[in-house]
Amino acid sequence: MSQHLDEALSGAATANPKTPFILKLVRFREFAILLALVLVFVGTSLKNTSFASTSSIQGLLSGPAVIILIAVGETLVIITRNVDLTVGSVVGLSAYLVGDVYVHYPHTPVLVALLVGIAVGAACGLVTGTIVAYARVPSLAVTLGLLYIIRGLDAVIVNAVQINATSLPAGFIGVGANNFIGIPIMMWIAIIVVAVVGYAMRNFRATREMYAIGSNPEAALLAGIPVQRRIFSAFVVSGALAGLAGALWLAEFATVGSTAGTGYELDAVAAAVVGGVAIFGGSGTILGAALGALFLNTINQALVAGGVSSFWDQAVAGLLLVLAIALDRYLVVRSERILRVEGRDRGRH
């Protein structure tokens, strides 16, 4: 559903009180995710009281931090009507290279290590964005191929050598293990990224133009929007955030091999779409994607707390992804129908 359609629906909701449910559902997807998250948490806590303990809550907050960062970047790409499947491989490559920096330069400041991760991811995003935006190759084909290329490159670089906690300084590991006023540092980083990117998406012209591109690329081009540059930028930011996520992944687990980040690309897409980002482009929010990641992680932990096999978490995530796409399509069709009726009614008067 396009951003323009969303804005039109806001006006239609005021004009026609007979259609409140569908319009409110369109406008408040984030609230629905937040409500579902609270219900899952409360329901699981009633069954297993340890689920509401301080350590459990901190785990619920630190667990999705990496996916939130990836989902934020993925959201930018999806909004432009593309997809980035390289992010999981970028997480693995970034995590290992940051660890390798500490192996050779053990006194590297934590901030520099995080910047190294961002640079690695941005370089990957630059390659992906160039091929998609300027060579005009479909993003699904490009990123699927690069997913395996980057993963293969990672395996060659790793070469069966695993970096462990003894190679990492305590200050860096503390980023993944310590809290600040009860909230994990990793989640603070994710919150800052969500706030900054979310603000930019709402207030900066360059980022607002991404919605126009996703809504109608041809019309955006005719309107003078630099479509190629915006798509390129989305992939670079997505890669950079995946690189940052890789550095934080290393800080959290304090060990990394060639399989780090495997499957994270699907988790990021699922988080974004479940959080209300339209898979067809043109609509969605950064906050929604973050809540989607938090919701999926909470469900995963709730299954574990409820004694359900961990294999079911992927099945549940897949089911929610399918339902979210189906719901989004339904909302588009239903909303367009409402707008047509509103238009005919205004025409008669």
Q: Is residue 30 part of a domain?
A: no
How wide is the angle at C-alpha 182 spanned by C-alphas 181 and 184, nearest 5°? 105
State the pTM of this model: 0.85
| Predicted pLDDT at 242 | 97
> What is the CATH number for 69?
1.10.3470
Average pLDDT, the chain: 84
Rounded to whole angstroms, the Cα distance separating 6 from 10 reads 6
Confidence at residue 333, expressed as pLDDT on a 0 to 100 scale = 63
Angle (deg, nearest 10), helices 87-104 and 139-158: 30
Residue 23: the pLDDT is 46
* % of the chain beyond a pLDDT of 70: 82
Residue 306 lies in a domain: yes
Domain holding 303, by residue range, is 3-20+62-343
Q: Which residue has the higher pLDDT, 10 or 344?
A: 344
- Residue 55 in any domain: the answer is no
Q: How many domains does the chain have?
A: 1
Give the rounded distance of the alpha carbon of 47 from its chain centre.
Answer: 30
| Burial class of residue 280 in the structure, from the number of CB atoms within 10 Å of its CB (0-12 exposed, 13-18 middle, 19+ buried) | middle
Output the CA–CA distances (angstroms, integers) from residue 227 to 3, 132, 134, in the order listed: 16, 11, 10
Q: Is residue 54 part of a domain?
A: no
Tell me if 234 is assigned to some domain.
Answer: yes
247 within some domain: yes
Residue 28 maps to a domain = no
Rounded distance between C-alpha atoms, residue 100 and residue 338, angstroms: 57
Residue in the block written with tokens 């190759």? 137
Higher pLDDT, 334 or 71: 71
Residue 335 banded pLDDT, cuts 50, 70, 90 = low
In a domain, 170, yes or no: yes
Q: In this structure, what token pair is assigned to residue 176?
A: 């993944």
* Predicted local confidence at residue 232, as pLDDT: 97
Look-up of token digits 């192996």: 103
Of residues 314 and 114, more confidently modeled:
114
One-letter-per-residue 3-state SS of 111-166: HHHHHHHHHHHHHHHHHHHHHHHHCCCCHHHHHHHHHHHHHHHHHHHHCCCCECHH
